[in-house]
Chains A and B, each alone.
Chain A
Amino acid sequence: MKPAKFDYVAPTTVDAAVEALRAANGEGKVLAGGQSLLPLLNFRMTRPAVLVDLNGIRELSFIELRGDRVAIGALTRHREIEQSPLIASKLPVMAAAMRHVAHLAIRNRGTIGGSLSHADPAAELPMLSLLYSASLSVQGPSGRRTIAAEDFFVDALTNCLEPEDIVVEIEFPILQQNGWAFEEVARRFGDFALASIAVSVRRGASTIKDARVAVMGVADTPLRLKEVEGQLRGIAIDDQMPDRFSELVTSSVSANGDLHASAEYRQHLLGQLARRAMQTALAAESDRR
């Protein structure tokens, strides 16, 4: 199908974009990479009166190191993140996940701000924003404010923003880690995940000092499993550790089912992926798959 009629504005500053959204009086939509919005427009599942295209705002596209954080502009394309040496060295879990983000042609257009705002419960970047406890800088009519990723995702395809708000940039703290893994199963490569897990660990000689765990595809939003993280702290590293981790994860999550996969199957996948992820996270760097 084709989109219904809309007016189109292409501002060159964030201020002008917010003003255009305010003027649209709740009938405006932000167009970033368009890889989720255009299908919705083509199906006429959304019919905004005004489309505010951010692609002319150059200052929204960047990846930069800020002390112990990496800041990424909202309009930065997935492909740029996939290729970035800075992301590869400072945010390796994200770097590993990027090739699972849809397909090359989608990654060439899709943006991080768009993916987070779309808030798909089975998309990689929303889950990673939880893993890293990222903070989103958002601009609205009353200025800029910062929203923690854990407060951002409200429900499936629903974030906490007002209609006039625009995500401007996202800051990812660099994790103190010496082991990590990203695992995902999708029906076809590049599809949204049936289940996925990201793990980061900081380990001592024989125990886990600290850990981060996030999952997706099993609930209405991605989840950070803080309870499991607490249970991992101080736990002994031995051959049974990946199995124990798998049990901790599956006992803390109750997967949703849908037409793509039953709840039981997703729960099973999550357990398997958790075991595999911990094996990888604990493996020596040279043994990584």
Chain B
Amino acid sequence: MSATVSVTVNGTKYDVQDVEPRLLLSDFLRDMLGLTGTHVGCEHGVCGACTVLVNGDSVRSCLMLAIQANGAEITTVEGLGTPETLNVLQAQFREHHGLQCGFCTPGMLMTGEDLLRKYPLATDDEIREGLSGNLCRCTGYQNIVAAIRAAAGKRAETVP
């Protein structure tokens, strides 16, 4: 049993044939589309490294079947900015040294994007609560929180 999956990822439309129902969205993005920016850590929804946006909402791509993403619009870390033009959140991660080994970073960024859209993030407690589903094994949380705090501040400046 296999199916065709049609998705738009970072603005590009893909039609992929012969997708097995059991293929996880995380493996689909990495192995079939070659988008290896999405990292796979625990593969059971605990670490948050594989977080992507599906129709604008952050989801764990290891807890969704590729076949369920048929017709969806997906944004991965590759879709945020480019090395030359980082987006606001990425720029703050660089400014505040919000990463150490970098493994958790794609998930932190995609979660941060969703948090910035959905919550006021007025306090560090709120930011930490929002990040509680993303693990950094380097324990570099202080600077990640600082980066998101700064990005929330930039957002407050630009939103009228």
Contacts and interface: CB of A to CB of B under 8 A. Distances in A.
A84 to B, nearest CB: 14
Contact of B44 (A42, A105, A108): A42
B58 A108 contact: yes
A53 B3 CA distance: 15
B128 interface: yes
B51 interface: yes
Contacts of A1: 43
B20 A42 contact: no
Contacts of B45: 35, 38-39, 106
Interface residues of A, number: 30
Given A34-B64, A38-B45, A103 B132 contact: yes
B122 interface: no
Interface stretch (A2-10, A61-69, A231-239, A248-256): A2-10
Interface in A105-132: 105-106, 108-109
Given A2-B27, A106-B45, A189-B129, A34 B22 contact: no
B59 A7 contact: no
A194 to B, nearest CB: 15
A99 interface: yes
A6 B115 CA distance: 35
Given A3-B22, A104-B58, A105-B114, A38 B132 contact: no
A102 B59 contact: no
B132 A105 contact: no
B1 A104 contact: no
Contact of A108 (B1, B48, B57, B68): B57
Interface in A29-52: 34-35, 38-39, 41-43, 51
Interface in B110-153: 111, 114-115, 118, 128-130, 132-134
Nearest to A105: B58
B80 to A, nearest CB: 16
Nearest to A7: B1
B48 A38 contact: no
Nearest to A1: B43
B52 to A, nearest CB: 9
B7 interface: no
Contacts of A51: 21
Nearest to A40: B44
A133 interface: no
A6 B133 contact: no
Given A103-B133, A105-B51, A105-B114, A7 B21 contact: yes
A106 B60 contact: yes
Interface of A: 1-8, 34-35, 38-39, 41-43, 51, 53, 55, 79, 99, 102-106, 108-109, 188-190
27 contacts: A1-B43, A6-B22, A7-B1, A8-B3, A8-B67, A34-B63, A34-B68, A38-B45, A38-B63, A39-B63, A42-B43, A42-B62, A43-B44, A51-B21, A55-B68, A99-B129, A102-B133, A104-B130, A105-B48, A105-B51, A105-B60, A105-B114, A106-B63, A108-B58, A109-B60, A109-B63, A189-B128
Given A35-B45, A190-B133, 8 more contacts: A6-B21, A39-B45, A41-B22, A43-B44, A108-B57, A108-B114, A109-B60, A190-B129
Shortest Cβ-Cβ A-B pairs, 5 listed: A103-B133, A8-B21, A39-B44, A108-B57, A189-B132
